[in-house]
């Protein structure tokens, strides 16, 4: 299935499962484990119908009650309670070890 790119948009940022064109089929890169299950996937995806670029949903997206914050240093998103405070900064465990 090759997309018709004449109406393609770039809506990456907030994750989605449905394209603005109404299509629910996406082209994206993934890796399979030894049992054939999806082991990991890239968040950039392309609509199979119109070619719109979007951000794939993740399990964290379905947990709206979690308080999420970005690490001040690397800007990755984490549950706020897992970040450490350094002055006005919220720092993840990885960046904390690098300081």
Non-local CB neighbours of 36 within 8 Å, separated by 6+ positions: none
Ranges of the chain with pLDDT below 50: none
At 75 the pLDDT is 84
At 31 the pLDDT is 95
Domain boundaries, the chain: 5-57, 66-98
- State the pTM of this model: 0.60
Distance (Å, rounded) from C-alpha 71 to C-alpha 58? 19
At 17 the pLDDT is 93
Q: What are φ and ψ of residue 28, in 5° steps?
A: -150, 160
Non-local CB neighbours of 34 within 8 Å, separated by 6+ positions: none
């Amino acid at each position: 299935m090759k997309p018709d790119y004449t109406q393609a948009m770039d809506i990456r940022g907030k994750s989605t499962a449905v394209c603005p064109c109404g299509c629910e089929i996406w082209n994206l890169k993934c890796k399979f484990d030894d049992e054939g299950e999806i082991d990991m996937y890239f968040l950039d995806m392309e609509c199979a119908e119109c070619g719109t670029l979007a951000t794939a949903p993740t399990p964290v997206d379905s947990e709206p009650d979690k308080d999420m914050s970005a690490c001040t240093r690397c800007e990755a998103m984490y549950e706020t309670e897992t970040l450490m405070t350094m002055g006005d900064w919220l720092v993840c465990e990885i960046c904390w070890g690098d300081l």
